[in-house]
Each structure stands twice: as structure tokens, then as C-alpha cells.
Amino acid sequence: MTEYLLRKPRIKRIRDMNHLQIDNFRALAPIRLPGITEHEGLEFVDDYDDYALLTYQLPKPVGIQDLMDQLEDNMGLNILYHCRNSFSESSPQHCCAYSSPTFEAMYKFNAQTGADGMVSTLYVYIFESLEVMLEFLKEDLRQHSKAAQFQGMDLPRLVADFM
């Protein structure tokens, strides 16, 4: 049985299909994102039909731009968007990044700043298929593209990335 199933009771039963994908991510992520996806920071692993959701509490909050830089530079992820719902500097910021469909790994990362302007929680989705991943990304983009301050891909560019 894998270590994370023995370590924390807050982790639900994981289907066999997701074991390998979660194990691969948990082996790679602390090397690529040190101080962000450490094993001690993993709070929850929720298993769904087509994906698993890993929730990390960051040991030290980080700025959203620093996080996006690390996701892009260290993990090789594409930034889907970075937005703010209003023009107020104190308004929470949201970001989403995803792994290129040409890679074997199918990841989507989401983060949001808190009242202090820092990110303290990171949500990592691990998908079983590109089709499901694309649908999640399209819905995420649709929900955030109407934000007052939006920087990101448009839908045709996202879809083209999966062709």
C-alpha cells in the first residue's frame, strides 16, 4: 500500500487506476516545486470517476506571480489564465495552469489569493483522459474569462493545444 494511504486518514479510498498517476505526481512534484508540493502539505486526496483532486496547504504562502512562474518554469505548465474579479488591488486573484497534452501527465493546477494577497492552498487535478481534462479546462476558462481583469488564453487557442 502506498505511503500516502497509510499516512493521513483524510484521504479517501483511491481507485487502482489513479494510484500510479498520483504516485508519479507525488514523486515528481516535490523535486520540481520544492516548498510547494511537499508530502507534509498534502491535506486531501479526493478520488472521482475521471480524476483525482489533491489539495495542498503550502508551508509558506507565496505570491501568485511567483507561483505561476514556478508552475511555468519548473513544471513546464501552460498558464490558462490569471484574473481578478474587480479592479480593486485587494480583490482575490485566481490562476490556472495545465500540463501540455503532448506530455503523458494530465495535470491542472488552480490557486487563489487570500485576504493577505498570498496563495496558501494549491489544488491539483490529475486526469485519466485528455477529453475530460479539456472539458474541465474549458469550463474553468468560461467561468473566469469574464473577470474584470483577465489575462489568458482564448478558447480556440486552448482547443488547438489539444489537437
Query: Secondary structure of the chain in the HEC alphabet?
Result: CCHHHHHCCCCCCCCHHHHHHHHHHHHHHHHHCCCCCCHHHEEEEEECCCEEEEEEEEEEEECHHHHHHHHHHHHCCEEEEEEECCCCCCCCEEEEEECCCCCCCCEEEEEEECCCCCEEEEEEEEECCHHHHHHHHHHHHHHHCCCCEEEECCHHHHHHHCC
Sheet holding 78-84, edge to edge: 42-47, 51-62, 119-127, 107-113, 93-98, 78-84, 149-152
Decide: 35 and 29 in contact? Cβ < 8 Å: no
pLDDT at 2 over 60: no
Query: What are phi and psi for residue 35, nearest 5 degrees?
Result: 80, 0
Mean local confidence (pLDDT), 50-61: 93
Higher pLDDT, 8 or 65: 65
Are 82 and 66 contacting, i.e. CB atoms less than 8 angstroms apart?
no
| pTM (predicted TM-score) | 0.86
Does the pLDDT at position 77 exceed 90? Answer: yes
Predicted confidence at residue 140, as pLDDT, reads 94
pLDDT at 1 over 50: no
Whole-Å CA distances, 80 to 13, 55, 77, 114: 30, 19, 9, 20
Mean pLDDT value across the chain: 85
Q: 83-122: per-residue pLDDT in tens?
A: 988 777 778 999 999 998 887 789 999 999 998 889 999 9
For the record, the C-alpha cell of 53 comes out as 483532486
